[in-house]
Chain A
Amino acid sequence: MFIARAAWRLLVGSVILLAAVPALAEWAINMPRGVTPISHEIYDLHMTIFSICVAIGALVFGVMFFSIWKHRKSRGAKADNFHESQTVEIIWTVIPFLILIGMAFPATKTLIKMEDMSDIEMTVKITGYQWMWHYDYLEDGVSFYSRLDANSNKTRQLDSGLNPGDVPDYLLNVDKPLVLPVGVKIRLLTTAADVIHSWWVPQLGVKKDAIPGFINEFWTQIEQPGVYRGVCAELCGKDHGFMPVVVKAVNQDEYQAWLQSQRDVTPKTASL
């Protein structure tokens, strides 16, 4: 069973490697553009710097491979003896410097925007535990733990004999997702109760460490309803790979209804 699947994957892998077929579109190969203003900006920064690198790479490697093709002894090339040129050296110091400055501007702008914590409308505290998350809606007195869903948990045990392919959203599903309203500027606080964790949802463009004894803050504003999945990014021990994050973004009405249903079940204390 495993062997058959492995062989299949090998085959698929080699085919794709050899042919670079359009099927690549279905493979997750790039950063998601995400669903927040910040995640869009990060995506644009990522694509800009990537394009710059590709252009520089094409130029440098182009020159090098031309030289490798042209200036080879087997083609009868005779070695020159030049080994210095101040002009050239100044040019290739200054031009990269200018490119870097050009890159630093948009990056700085985005960074300043990320740090702008004004006009916050609601706050959720996220606490990392070995190995689950705890969410605490400060204004509304709702709080709960969020763990890897039972199905994934059963399947991921060593030699479980179960097929991860049969589990929907294997390792990216939880028993109780973090529900957030769309269109609202939300402050998220991170802290931890034991070791350092890191809360990461690629679609939101955020990753923030959760550090015991300290709180970190960041904000997000989700543009469209949906389910966004993430993970703990900082090694936190044995089950580091098994404490996913699921954010369910809903519109305001649905959010209020959900809050009402939760208020009845959680006591208003922030304790273990």
Chain B
Amino acid sequence: MSTTAAALHDHHEPQLTGIKRWLLTTNHKDIGTLYLWFSFIMFLLGGGMALIIRAELFQPGLQIVDPQFFNSMTTMHALVMIFGGVMPAFVGLANWMIPMMIGAPDMALPRMNNWSFWILPFAFAMLISTLFMRGGAPAAGWTMYAPLVLQTGDAFPFMIFSIHLLGISSVMGAINIIATVLNMRAPGMSLMRMPLFVWTWLITAYLLIAVIPVLAGAVTMLLTDKFFGTSFFNPAGGGDPVLFQHIFWFFGHPEVYILILPAFGVMSQIIPTFARKPLFGYASMVYASASIAFLSFIVWAHHMFTVGMPLAGELFFMFSTMLIAIPTGVKVFNWVATMWRGAMTFETPMLFAIAFVVLFTIGGFSGLMLAITPADFQYHDSYFVVAHFHYVLVPGAIFALIAAVYFWLPKWTGHMYSEALGKWHFWLSAVSLNVTFFPMHFVGLAGMQRRVPDYALQFADFNAISSVGAFIFGTSQLLFLYLVIKCIRGGPQASARVWEGAHGLEWTVPSPAPAHTFNTVPDSEVIRRETLA
């Protein structure tokens, strides 16, 4: 059945050159590349904002920015990194890899694919333009809690509208991925033979479809509260500001799994490859991902224990949150068991994957601590929380993305990257990351609150250390940029298999992967050989 689809797409793909090739492309590989470059630019932009934050926090007192601008920086850093840095990067990987992994010639909906990418630059241009508006950029935190967010100046409607656009882009991307995975698999590629990256993305796509519209609803309510006299969140009109938090976190908690599930998928591709041993517990990985996704819908209020909930509510959300540790633990144990009695080598992707397992688990531990409601009353909104979510997002989502790029770069470009530079990049990133974020645990426990431009003197030394780490981390990423450009330009020829232990359909096509792959259905014998189960 894939052959017919391939023929369909093939004959109306004109040979375009220059800018038009990229503007009008419907090729999944080109669109994947666009997504990846766009997200890298956003990563640098969001990182620049983080460095402004860390520069101000280098020592007590205000030296560089005023408090309002500081709040804009924390808000924009989060929005840019989440919606610009991480989510589009994973969509980019999905575009490149999912069709090749399931033996499909392209995504199911190539033209919508083009749309969902090209919305992004406009959405972010709008979001970033708010920096220059009267009243400044949004400064109420990425969580946009009412009523504070209603004090935003001219930027307010632009922020809402850009979030709507980002949501539309994500939802279109998710629909495309689901349609591709459900309908475009080569014969013989049954669901339980799919690589885990495809599985985790399928689950992520369902999460996106379920919660992005809820976010759209929440911000629309903010918009009508501000301009059209509704009072969803205004007590004077019968509303309740806490309601916003409930709706927001109903979106927000699944959202954090949207950021991390595809990372789990990437890990489940990389670790078996370099351990030269099949993934341990494939089926339990699938079930664990699905149960994490399910649990993410019933834990949201753990983000808001301090708003004052009845005892029963606090207990329910504490227990359900603690339960998440179980499927997450299963995943970590499975990765370790995959390494056990393998024959490991430590190329750059594997180094990032090992760092992921260790550091993400540390983030998981602090997450478990945060689940304990009475203790959460102390941790909540302190730097301990900042440390927690940076540990799950930076060595979690970001390291998984970096590992994925190293892993598949030879397949994309046909060249091997410089292993020496890759190792430099790894060690600089891994060390500076811990220098940046580990001290945040300490200052948080000792009483430093989030989202402040200045602090009391007892926090000064750890903050100085964090800032030094942040600048080293930021600079190291430029090395990554250099390495990637160098690899695109040239380097030793990569083989089709690239890695000795690699399995999967994407490694059966030549490197670099030609513009069109699997125009003819892959042999079912090949599928059986390349996939587990």
Which positions 427-445 of chain B face chain A at CB distance < 8 Å?
435, 442-443, 445
**Is B230 an interface residue when CB atoms closer than 8 A count as contact?**
no
Q: Is the CB of B375 within 8 A of A42?
A: yes
Known contacts A61-B358, A214-B240: A79-B147 contact under CB 8 Å: no
Chain B residue at minimal CB-CB distance from A77: B343
Q: Is the CB of B58 within 8 A of A6?
A: yes
B378 contact from A77, A205, A212, Cβ within 8 A: A205
Q: Is the CB of B336 within 8 A of A237?
A: no
The interface residues of chain B lying within 8 Å CB-to-CB of A156 are 61-62, 454
**Is B168 an interface residue when CB atoms closer than 8 A count as contact?**
no
The interface residues of chain A lying within 8 Å CB-to-CB of B381 are 198, 200, 207, 233-235
**Is B22 an interface residue when CB atoms closer than 8 A count as contact?**
no
Which of B199-207, B210-218, B316-324, B504-512 interfaces with chain A?
Answer: B316-324
**Is A183 an interface residue when CB atoms closer than 8 A count as contact?**
no
The interface residues of chain A lying within 8 Å CB-to-CB of B282 are 83-84
The interface residues of chain B lying within 8 Å CB-to-CB of A32 are 446-447
B435 contact from A17, A30, A84, A237, Cβ within 8 A: A17
Q: Is the CB of A49 within 8 A of B372?
A: yes
0/1 string, B139-154, CB within 8 A of A gives 1: 1110001011001000
Which of A95-103, A118-126, A134-142, A256-264 interfaces with chain B?
Answer: A95-103
Known contacts A45-B372, A108-B315, A171-B455: A89-B140 contact under CB 8 Å: no
The interface residues of chain B lying within 8 Å CB-to-CB of A53 are 365-366, 368-369
Shortest Cβ distance from residue B258 to the other chain A in the assembled complex, whole angstroms: 23
The interface residues of chain A lying within 8 Å CB-to-CB of B67 are 238-242
Known contacts A92-B330, A111-B314, A237-B148: A5-B59 contact under CB 8 Å: yes
A28 contact from B340, B361, B365, B443, Cβ within 8 A: B443
- From B139, B318, B443, B457, residue with most partner A Cβ within 10 Å: B457
The interface residues of chain A lying within 8 Å CB-to-CB of B380 are 198, 207, 233
The interface residues of chain B lying within 8 Å CB-to-CB of A251 are none
**Is B397 an interface residue when CB atoms closer than 8 A count as contact?**
no
Q: Is the CB of A73 within 8 A of B446?
A: no
Q: Is the CB of B460 within 8 A of A155?
A: no
**Is A213 an interface residue when CB atoms closer than 8 A count as contact?**
yes
Q: How many residues of B contact A (CB 8 A)?
A: 102
Q: How far is the CA of A220 from the CA of B124 in the complex (A)?
A: 47
Chain A residue at minimal CB-CB distance from B275: A79
Shortest Cβ distance from residue A109 to the other chain B in the assembled complex, whole angstroms: 9
Shortest Cβ distance from residue B166 to the other chain A in the assembled complex, whole angstroms: 22
0/1 string, A1-27, CB within 8 A of B gives 1: 010011001101100110000000001
Q: How far is the CA of A137 from the CA of B164 in the complex (A)?
A: 46
Q: Is the CB of A68 within 8 A of B344?
A: yes
Known contacts A17-B465, A77-B343: A159-B62 contact under CB 8 Å: yes
Q: How far is the CA of A96 from the CA of B325 in the complex (A)?
A: 8
**Is A272 an interface residue when CB atoms closer than 8 A count as contact?**
no
Chain B residue at minimal CB-CB distance from A53: B365
Q: How far is the CA of A90 from the CA of B372 in the complex (A)?
A: 25
The interface residues of chain A lying within 8 Å CB-to-CB of B345 are 72-74
Q: Is the CB of B340 within 8 A of A107?
A: no
Chain A residue at minimal CB-CB distance from B452: A241
B242 contact from A9, A92, A214, Cβ within 8 A: A214
Which positions 204-257 of chain A face chain B at CB distance < 8 Å?
205-209, 211-214, 216-217, 229-242
The interface residues of chain B lying within 8 Å CB-to-CB of A195 are 145, 147-148, 151
The interface residues of chain A lying within 8 Å CB-to-CB of B277 are 79-83
B145 contact from A42, A108, A196, Cβ within 8 A: A196
**Is B374 an interface residue when CB atoms closer than 8 A count as contact?**
yes
Q: Is the CB of B59 within 8 A of A83?
A: no
Q: How far is the CA of A258 from the CA of B116 in the complex (A)?
A: 66
The interface residues of chain B lying within 8 Å CB-to-CB of A13 are 461, 464-465, 468
0/1 string, A40-71, CB within 8 A of B gives 1: 01100110011001001100110110011001
Which positions 111-164 of chain A face chain B at CB distance < 8 Å?
111-112, 114-115, 155-160, 162-164
Known contacts A42-B375, A108-B315, A115-B311: A27-B450 contact under CB 8 Å: no
Q: Is the CB of A9 within 8 A of B445?
A: no
Chain A residue at minimal CB-CB distance from B327: A93
Q: How far is the CA of A206 from the CA of B306 in the complex (A)?
A: 9
Chain B residue at minimal CB-CB distance from A84: B281
Q: Is the CB of B451 within 8 A of A235?
A: yes
**Is B515 an interface residue when CB atoms closer than 8 A count as contact?**
no
Q: Is the CB of A202 within 8 A of B311?
A: no
Q: How far is the CA of A46 from the CA of B382 in the complex (A)?
A: 15
A-B contacts besides A32-B447, A206-B377, 18 pairs, CB < 8 Å: A27-B462, A45-B372, A53-B365, A61-B361, A72-B343, A72-B345, A77-B344, A100-B322, A103-B372, A111-B374, A171-B60, A202-B378, A202-B446, A207-B381, A234-B306, A235-B381, A238-B68, A241-B451
Please report B residues at the A interface, Cβ cutoff 8 Å: 58-63, 65-68, 71, 139-141, 145, 147-148, 151, 235-236, 240-242, 275-282, 284, 306-308, 311, 314-315, 318-319, 322-323, 325-326, 329-330, 332-333, 336-346, 354, 357-358, 361-362, 365-366, 368-369, 372-375, 377-378, 380-382, 435, 442-443, 445-447, 449-462, 464-465, 468, 501, 532
19 contacts between A and B (CB under 8 A): A9-B59, A10-B464, A12-B461, A13-B464, A16-B461, A49-B368, A53-B365, A57-B362, A84-B281, A89-B330, A93-B330, A96-B325, A107-B373, A164-B60, A206-B377, A207-B306, A212-B235, A233-B380, A235-B451
Task: Identify the 5 closest CB pairs spanning chains A and B, nearest first.
Answer: A213-B235, A241-B452, A28-B446, A216-B308, A53-B365
Please report A residues at the B interface, Cβ cutoff 8 Å: 2, 5-6, 9-10, 12-13, 16-17, 27-32, 38, 41-42, 45-46, 49-50, 53, 56-57, 60-61, 63-64, 67-68, 71-74, 77-84, 88-89, 92-93, 96-97, 100, 103-104, 107-108, 110-112, 114-115, 155-160, 162-165, 169-172, 194-196, 198, 200, 202, 205-209, 211-214, 216-217, 229-242
